[in-house]
Amino acid sequence: MNKVAIRIELEISQIDQLLESYAKILEKAQEEELDLIEITALGSVLHSFYNGLENIFFMYRN
């Protein structure tokens, strides 16, 4: 496997781990209104998810 593919697989693995770590709060957000702390936490999760995707696209582009 080439280096880019390995780095992309690692990034996907980190995204999967992120979503698994926050699965409970993601489920809770679908069922009820969250408080400010929970919304802030989900904002951080969204930011990390987006950065992971951005990293993948950047690696793929180069």
Per-residue model confidence as pLDDT tens for the chain (62 residues): 688 889 999 999 999 999 999 999 999 999 999 999 999 999 999 999 999 999 999 887 76
Confidence (pLDDT) at 62: 64
Helices 3-21, 36-61: axis angle to 10 degrees equals 170
The answer to pTM > 0.85 is no
Q: How far apart, in whole angstroms, are the C-alpha atoms of residue 18 and residue 22? A: 6
- Six token digits for residue 32: 């009820």
